[in-house]
Chains A and B, each alone.
Chain A
Amino acid sequence: MDGPLEKIERGPEPAKLSLSVNGATLVAEVEPRASLLDTLRETLDLTGTKKGCNQGACGACTVWVDGRRVVSCLTLAVACEGREVTTIEGLVEHPMQEAFLSCDALQCGYCTPGQIMSAVKLLEEGHAGNDAEIAEWMSGNLCRCAAYPHIRQAIREVRDGEHQ
């Protein structure tokens, strides 16, 4: 179905991108080389999403694009026009947030937004059957403070409906 093309052409100079973030349409004036991560943090003042490695290796920058968990450091903002972006700011009193608090699933908290964005999808994807499975499917989110046991506990509790 090679249909009529809708071609988008941007840059190299900054261009006004219209991005759908957490249900709102936001305009960011950035160059095509800008990552989604930098655009969220530096241009849109959505600093909940964190930068760890900036090379896809730590998961601190995890957000959802069109409902799937991805790393925003290797995603270009310009590639998200027409897609739906969800960040930690888009989750309000989500059971996973409650569980992370009550389980003490963090120490410094730097990895936490990424952990939560990943954990919510983990449950939807159905890969939280036991601790080994949780560990495997959460392995894209590193925690320098090694809060892993409590992170897994929080995920188990949400899985088991203990936080409504």
Chain B
Amino acid sequence: MHAMSYARVGDVASALAEGADPDSRFLAGGTTEVDMLRIGVARERRLIDINDLPLNTIEDLPGGGLRLGALARMSDVAATPSVRERFPMLVQALELGASAQLRNMASMGGNMMQRVRCGYFREAGMPCNKREPGSGCAAQGGFHRGHAVLGTSEHCFATHPSDVAVALVALDAVIHLQGRYGERAMPLEDFFLQPGDAPEREHPIEHGELITAIEVPAAPVARTSLYWKVRDRESYEFALVSAAVAATVTNGVIREVRLALGGVATRPWRARAAEQMLTGGPAISDAFEAAASAELAPAVPHPQNAFKIELAKRTIVRVLERVSAA
């Protein structure tokens, strides 16, 4: 790892002042950042440790929503009783991610900013448009079994690796940012950019801007919800396919449904086509299969990851069957 300096700040104003330095980067749990610095993908010369900022609270909002401070740890969010009661799929997505040790370290804000697990992105010296714009994409003709089939471009098709972001996107979460010139908020879904022709740009965040919180609006539908993760081993592995689903079914009719996919797309993937087809229709397997096929219709397979299309469809059907039976 190259030499660098370190500053620990105690309040938001100082974090923003220090973060303005173009050669700096924020340090939260470090589970992505230290890894990236060590493998030479991150090149910053100065880390601004934000762990002492008062942004680690987990608050219930009136009406049933949540406000998660950017520095709240994955383990602490998952252990919060009101989160467990109101948002089962959020808890499951958190607890099926990483390991107990990493969840104790990893912050919610850092999780949104984690980097892709594409082996060529991590290997300095290999062509990678995300790491070195214009250098090519070694994954195209290389190993890409874990790569995305939705939201891809010819320039990059690395999978977005987060689990909890998938559940949050299904829940219409809103991300709050603070910069030196003010605060803003946007739907979390918009915080993740598709690679297009600029895969190096992953988020509409300015350098030195701080994520302060993620808000989850009240969603009674989420009380009947599920996060299902399909992977090569049973634990401590990224998803091949995952699905976050919440549904309200009365008299066999789907009144409301939320569905998002992980492991198959370049961003946490809200399955709007499927949601639209399902809403107001019968909660039967045929309808689930039709919705799954519609959602995966635009999928672009590569030789090693084509299996994900069928796996994603089956996963969607399975989670819909499970929640509608609940």
Residues of A whose CB lies within 8 Å of any CB of B are 1-13, 31-33, 35, 54-56, 59, 62, 68-71, 73-76, 78-79, 81, 118, 121-122, 125, 127, 135-141
Chain B residues with CB below 8 A from A73, complex form: 34
Chain B residues with CB below 8 A from A4, complex form: 10
Chain B residues with CB below 8 A from A125, complex form: 100
Contact indicator B4/A140 (Cβ below 8 Å): no
Chain A residues with CB below 8 A from B51, complex form: 79
Which residue in B30, B100, B234, B235 is a CB contact (below 8 Å) of A79? Answer: B30
Chain A residues with CB below 8 A from B38, complex form: 54-55
Which residue in A7, A69, A127, A136 is a CB contact (below 8 Å) of B9? Answer: A7
Chain B residues with CB below 8 A from A75, complex form: 30, 34, 105
Determine if B101 is an interface residue (Cβ-Cβ < 8 Å).
Answer: yes
* Chain A residue at minimal CB-CB distance from B105: A70
Which residue in B3, B35, B37, B101 is a CB contact (below 8 Å) of A59? Answer: B101
* Bound: A74/B36 CA distance, A: 10
* Bound: A14/B1 CA distance, A: 14
Chain A residues with CB below 8 A from B1, complex form: 33
Determine if B49 is an interface residue (Cβ-Cβ < 8 Å).
Answer: yes
Determine if B54 is an interface residue (Cβ-Cβ < 8 Å).
Answer: yes
Within 8 A of A (CB), among B1-36: 1-14, 27, 29-31, 34-35
Interface centre among B13, B31, B104 (most CB of A within 10 A): B104
Interface centre among B30, B37, B99, B105 (most CB of A within 10 A): B99
Contact indicator A69/B100 (Cβ below 8 Å): yes
Report the count of interface residues on B (CB-CB < 8 A). 40
Residues of B whose CB lies within 8 Å of any CB of A are 1-14, 27, 29-31, 34-35, 37-39, 45, 47, 49, 51-52, 54, 75, 98-102, 104-105, 234-236
* Chain B residue at minimal CB-CB distance from A2: B11
* Bound: A79/B51 CA distance, A: 9
Contact indicator B4/A7 (Cβ below 8 Å): no
Which residue in A7, A10, A11, A127 is a CB contact (below 8 Å) of B14? Answer: A7
* Chain B residue at minimal CB-CB distance from A81: B8
Min CB distance A83 to B, Å, is: 9
Given A54-B38, A55-B38, decide whether A76 and B7 contact each other with a Cβ distance below 8 A: no
* Chain A residue at minimal CB-CB distance from B233: A139
Chain A residues with CB below 8 A from B7, complex form: 7-10
* Bound: A4/B52 CA distance, A: 12
Task: Give 13 CB contacts A-B under 8 Å.
Answer: A2-B13, A2-B54, A5-B10, A8-B49, A9-B5, A10-B5, A10-B7, A11-B6, A32-B6, A33-B3, A55-B35, A69-B100, A140-B100
Contact indicator B6/A71 (Cβ below 8 Å): no
Contact indicator A140/B54 (Cβ below 8 Å): no
Min CB distance B19 to A, Å, is: 13
Which residue in B10, B47, B98 is a CB contact (below 8 Å) of A6? Answer: B10
Contact indicator A33/B101 (Cβ below 8 Å): no
Given A2-B12, A79-B30, decide whether A33 and B4 contact each other with a Cβ distance below 8 A: yes
Given A5-B10, A33-B1, A76-B34, decide whether A70 and B45 contact each other with a Cβ distance below 8 A: no
Which residue in A8, A122, A138, A141 is a CB contact (below 8 Å) of B8? Answer: A8
Which residue in A2, A71, A138 is a CB contact (below 8 Å) of B102? Answer: A71
Contact indicator B236/A139 (Cβ below 8 Å): yes
Contact indicator B10/A3 (Cβ below 8 Å): yes
Contact indicator A70/B101 (Cβ below 8 Å): yes
* Chain A residue at minimal CB-CB distance from B76: A68
* Chain A residue at minimal CB-CB distance from B37: A33
Chain B residues with CB below 8 A from A2, complex form: 10-13, 54
Interface centre among B5, B8, B34, B101 (most CB of A within 10 A): B101
Min CB distance B39 to A, Å, is: 8
Min CB distance B16 to A, Å, is: 11
* Chain A residue at minimal CB-CB distance from B103: A140
Given A12-B4, A71-B105, A139-B236, decide whether A7 and B10 contact each other with a Cβ distance below 8 A: yes
Which residue in B2, B6, B34 is a CB contact (below 8 Å) of A74? Answer: B34
Chain A residues with CB below 8 A from B27, complex form: 76, 79
Given A75-B34, A79-B30, A140-B236, decide whether A59 and B99 contact each other with a Cβ distance below 8 A: yes
Given A11-B4, A54-B38, A139-B236, decide whether A118 and B11 contact each other with a Cβ distance below 8 A: no
